[in-house]
Amino acid sequence: PSSPFIWNYPTLIAHRGAGKHAPENTLSAARLGATHGFKMMEYDVKLSRDGVAILLHDDTIDRTSNAKGPASQYNLDELLHFDFGGWLNPKYTGEPILTLATMAQFTIAQGICSNIEIKPETGLEAETGARVARIAQKLWQHASIPPLLSSFSETALEAAKLAAPELPRALLIENHVPDDYLTRLQRLGCVALNLDTTLTTQALVEQTRQAGYEMCIWTVNDKQRALELLSWGCKGIVTDNIDTMAPHCFD
């Protein structure tokens, strides 16, 4: 890495706020994850039409709301009319879309760290990377630990690096680890590689850590596998299993 960085994040990270137990990427999910003792959360962020950073996994709101279409088609005030909870369970009906601003407020107040996954819509990679980084920079300016910005999109990470160079970055990789992955981490000024558990081997962890990068692994829903990854030197474990993989389960 270009500058020395001390990794100071909690080990157990709740995926999308609270995995699959509450509507992903909503405040109900964040509250549930917090109730289970998680001190770090991963969540997906993209932009509304009016450039507000919002939490949403997919390109469209079809799966996780009662409306349809790309998020970038709606302004925040329109998105706020839709229900982002009832799709999972009727008891969450009326759950609003969550903005990064509200998530920042909640997590910082609770002493919870953030892994912001920048998840741009296709074609909006650079714009989303730059804007989310700038918004995060402002929202976390007085927080004790900065959010970790991650993305599968190298274009988004490059834009984030230009916009807010001091915010730590991680490259997400799935399907296949390219031969030149260390060069990519270096070029993007990353502090970590956030890797799919199915691609993670002890040799790869050793090689990556020797080169000076930490590793966060997702999505790990088995405690034995988590213990193995930790014994190899992985620093972060992203999980859906907020019950059996809560931090206290590892004490």
- To ligand G3P, the closest distance from the beta carbon of 41 in angstroms equals 11
Interface with ligand G3P (CB under 6 A), residue from 52, 182, 188, 238: 238
Q: Which is nearer to ligand G3P, 238 or 245 (CB)?
A: 238
Contacts with 138 (C-beta within 8 Å, 6 or more apart), sequence order = none
Say how far apart CA 87 and CA 39 lie, in whole Å.
27
The option from Mg ion, ligand G3P, none interacting with 238 (CB < 5 to 8 A, set by class) reads ligand G3P
In the stretch 41-60, what mask flags binding to ligand G3P with x, by CB under 6 A? Answer: -x-x------------x---
221 binds ligand G3P (CB under 6 A): no
Say how far apart CA 215 and CA 78 lie, in whole Å.
38
Binding segment toward Mg ion, per CB under 5 A, in 109-117, 122-130, 199-207, 228-236: 109-117
Q: 57: helix, coil or strand? A: coil
Tokens standing for 225?
């596998």
Instruction: Give the angle subtended at the CA of 165 by the CAs of 46 and 25, to the nearest 5°.
Output: 25
- To Mg ion, the closest distance from the beta carbon of 42 in angstroms equals 6
172 binds ligand G3P (CB under 6 A): yes
C-alpha torsion angle, residues 209, 163, 174, 199 (rounded to 10): 10
Is 57 considered catalytic here? yes
Q: Name the residue whose CB lies closest to ligand G3P.
A: 218
Give the residue ranges of DSSP H helices in 111-153.
125-139
Interface with Mg ion (CB under 5 A), residue from 24, 44, 121, 214: 44
Residue among 15, 36, 176, 248 flagged as catalytic: 15
117 binds ligand G3P (CB under 6 A): yes
Instruction: Measure CA of the first residue to CA of the last residue in the chain; give whole Å.
Output: 31
Q: 236: helix, coil or strand? A: strand
Under 8 Å between Cβ of 223 and 205: no
Catalytic sites, residue numbers: 15, 57
- Site residues (CB under 5 A) for Mg ion? 44, 117
- Site residues (CB under 6 A) for ligand G3P? 15, 42, 44, 57, 117, 150, 172, 194, 218, 238
